[in-house]
């Protein structure tokens, strides 16, 4: 039955209208969480405000539970969903570089749009920097693409890697989320002295 796009032939206009609609929910949530503010986003790395981890982790676990329930009900086959192939080397190296850009620049690609929408000039400059970065990658280092392909392990999920089913992993992540929530509250109290007086909350 799902995904809808596999069963209904969307016109280009319908397809792009759906993108705008889903994007609206995406941007609304990000702004509501405080992710239009670079100080709120980077606060996670100074331990006094873990909102970034709370929102991301809760979202991931919510979707995971939803996907598991839909697939258990036979409404959605997980194998139908697009999975980015894993390359340990590429995701490790890319992640290290990306993390540096995040804490230096204050945004990530999606949240920069949230920042721009609420008038943050630094978010606009970040987005221009991103465009320059994407352009530089394509023009000067296109060879990295073949290195990524060469180091690829193909589609790899925790269930296929470990032989432990999606249901068990989902249950484990739910438990982990509750434990992590308690740990984060403790961290925020412990490092409350690092919170600047006018920190957005």
Cβ 170 vs Cβ 157: under 8 Å: no
Considering only 135, 150, 171, 175, the residue that binds other proteins (CB under 8 A) is 135
Nearer to other proteins, 22 or 179 (CB): 22
Give whole-number Cα distances, 19 to 22, 119, 121, 200, in Å. 5, 23, 26, 30
Cβ 84 vs Cβ 157: under 8 Å: no
Q: How far is the CB of 188 from other proteins (least distance, A)?
A: 11
Phi/psi for 127 (5° steps) reads -65, -40
Report the run of H or E that residue 52 belongs to, with start and end. helix 51-72
Count of residues near other proteins by CB under 8 A? 130
CA torsion angle for 159, 163, 165, 166 (degrees, to 10)?
Answer: 0
State which of positions 103-132 bind other proteins (CB under 8 A). 103-123, 125-132
Q: How far is the CB of 192 from other proteins (least distance, A)?
A: 13
State which of positions 52-91 bind other proteins (CB under 8 A). 54-64, 66-67, 70, 76, 78, 80-88, 90-91
Q: How far is the CB of 36 from other proteins (least distance, A)?
A: 6
- Select from 60, 145, 46 the least CA-distant residue to 94: 145
State which of positions 33-52 bind other proteins (CB under 8 A). 33-34, 36-40, 42-43, 45-46, 51
Q: How far is the CB of 85 from other proteins (least distance, A)?
A: 7
Nearer to other proteins, 32 or 179 (CB): 32
Whole-angstrom distance, CA of residue 163 vs CA of residue 147: 29
Q: How far is the CB of 80 from other proteins (least distance, A)?
A: 6
175 lies in the site for other proteins, by CB under 8 A: no
Whole-angstrom distance, CA of residue 48 vs CA of residue 189: 7
Considering only 9, 74, 146, 189, the residue that binds other proteins (CB under 8 A) is 146
**Widest CA span of the chain, in angstroms?**
56
Considering only 11, 20, 175, 180, the residue that binds other proteins (CB under 8 A) is 20
The Cα angle at residue 68 between residues 79 and 164, in degrees rounded to 5: 80
Q: How far is the CB of 189 from other proteins (least distance, A)?
A: 16
Nearer to other proteins, 133 or 183 (CB): 133
């Amino acid at each position: 039955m799902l995904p809808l796009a596999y069963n209904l032939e969307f016109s280009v206009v319908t397809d792009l209208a759906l993108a705008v609609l889903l994007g609206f929910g995406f941007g609304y949530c990000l702004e509501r969480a405080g992710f239009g503010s670079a100080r709120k986003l980077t606060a996670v790395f100074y331990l006094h405000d873990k909102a970034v981890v709370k929102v991301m982790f809760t979202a991931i676990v919510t979707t995971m539970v939803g996907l598991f329930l839909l697939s258990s009900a036979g409404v959605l086959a997980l194998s139908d969903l697009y999975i980015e192939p894993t390359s340990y080397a590429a995701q490790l190296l890319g992640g290290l570089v990306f993390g540096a850009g995040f804490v230096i620049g204050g945004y990530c690609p999606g949240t920069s749009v949230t920042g721009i929408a609420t008038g943050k000039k630094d978010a606009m400059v970040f987005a221009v920097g991103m465009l320059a970065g994407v352009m530089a990658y394509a023009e000067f280092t296109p060879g990295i693409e073949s290195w990524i392909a060469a180091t690829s392990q193909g589609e790899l999920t925790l269930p296929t890697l470990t032989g432990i089913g999606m249901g068990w992993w989902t249950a484990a992540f739910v438990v982990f989320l509750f434990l992590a929530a308690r740990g984060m509250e403790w961290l925020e109290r412990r490092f409350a002295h690092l919170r600047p007086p006018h920190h957005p909350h």
